[in-house]
């Protein structure tokens, strides 16, 4: 006759054997049942899609939101890899949208690859920068005076086309040195890549501003707002083209033939 302890152990052993059989049938953690998983489903879905779930005893999803909700199918990362957005290089800058007034120019880029499966989103596809053109789109010279002095980065002087400039004026210009006075804080808060030059505008620093065609007046060959008529230590006004909240005062120090300031402090009248 078997001991009482053996009689108790036998049912327990049978139970553990049954559990092991079920576990073996299910497979190791993360294993997939036949026809279950994103690869078997054959699609990966954007956002949260309740229909983007393969058949099987275990509910799992193949949509973009499953990562945050922690209910992705085990093969989601392999079957639905994240694809970041890819964009083309920037185009060249356009002409000023509106001539004969403070306006803006545009550059654009297009999407080469849309993001998928939670990949990095696309960056901005358009940028704008302030500008002024002193010639209409019909080639007629604008007749107006712009005040205060409108300035922008020296790189703009390299990019703008010198339309209608007589050959003897294409390279003629002059440089004016100013000492910056009080400046609005908004100049330090710009985020656009093409506007980073404003962050270097600091009270007390010296800047060099180039006056060149086509910003020059046709008769006087001077740029509006260059401070040529200023007296003594008179403070003059300036404004960043295209960014009216970035403005301040400066004191004219003198006029030179060429600008010798560091690149971050080289500007142009527009």
Other beta carbons less than 10 A from residue 115's beta carbon: 17
Residue 52 has a pLDDT of: 92
Q: What is the pTM of this model?
A: 0.52
What SS3 class is residue 236? strand
Instruction: Give dist(CA 191, CA 196) in Å, integer.
Output: 7
What is the pairing mode between strands 149-153 and 266-269?
antiparallel
Question: DSSP secondary-structure letter at 88?
Answer: P
Residue 171 has a pLDDT of: 56
Per-residue DSSP letters for 143-183? -----SEEEEEHHHHHHS--TT--GGGSS-EEEEEEEEEEE
Residue 118 has a pLDDT of: 80
Residue 143 has a pLDDT of: 57
Residue (of 191, 175, 187, 203) closest to 240 by Cα position: 187
pLDDT (tens place) for every residue of the chain, 270 residues total = 445 554 555 555 555 454 444 343 344 444 545 557 898 888 899 888 999 999 877 889 999 888 888 999 999 989 999 899 999 999 998 888 887 766 788 999 999 999 988 889 999 999 988 777 767 777 776 655 445 788 988 887 666 655 555 555 555 789 999 999 999 888 988 888 888 899 899 999 999 999 988 788 777 788 888 887 777 778 888 999 878 889 898 999 999 888 889 999 999 998
């Amino acid at each position: 006759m078997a001991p009482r302890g053996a009689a108790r152990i036998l049912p327990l052993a049978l139970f553990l054997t049954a559990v092991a059989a079920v576990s073996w049938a299910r497979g190791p953690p993360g294993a997939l049942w036949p026809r279950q998983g994103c690869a078997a489903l054959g699609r990966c879905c954007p956002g949260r899609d309740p229909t983007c779930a393969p058949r099987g005893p275990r509910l799992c999803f193949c949509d973009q939101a499953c990562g945050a909700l922690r209910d992705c199918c085990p093969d989601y990362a392999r079957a639905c890899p994240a694809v970041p957005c890819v964009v083309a290089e920037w185009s060249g800058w356009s002409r000023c949208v509106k001539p004969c007034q403070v306006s803006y120019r545009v550059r654009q880029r297009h999407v080469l690859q849309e993001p998928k499966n939670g990949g990095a989103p696309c960056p901005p596809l358009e940028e704008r920068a302030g500008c002024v053109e002193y010639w209409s789109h019909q080639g007629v010279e604008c007749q107006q005076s712009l005040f205060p002095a409108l300035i922008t980065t020296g790189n703009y002087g390299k990019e703008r086309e010198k339309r209608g400039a007589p050959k003897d004026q294409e390279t003629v210009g002059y440089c004016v040195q100013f000492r910056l006075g009080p400046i609005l804080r908004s100049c330090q808060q710009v985020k656009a890549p093409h506007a980073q030059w404003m962050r270097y505008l600091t009270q007390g620093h010296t800047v060099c501003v180039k006056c060149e065609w086509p910003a020059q007046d046709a008769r006087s060959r001077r740029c509006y707002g260059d401070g040529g008529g200023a007296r003594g230590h008179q403070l003059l006004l300036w404004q960043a083209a295209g960014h009216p909240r970035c403005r301040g005062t400066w004191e004219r120090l003198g006029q030179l033939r060429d600008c010798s300031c560091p690149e971050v402090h080289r500007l142009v009248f527009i």
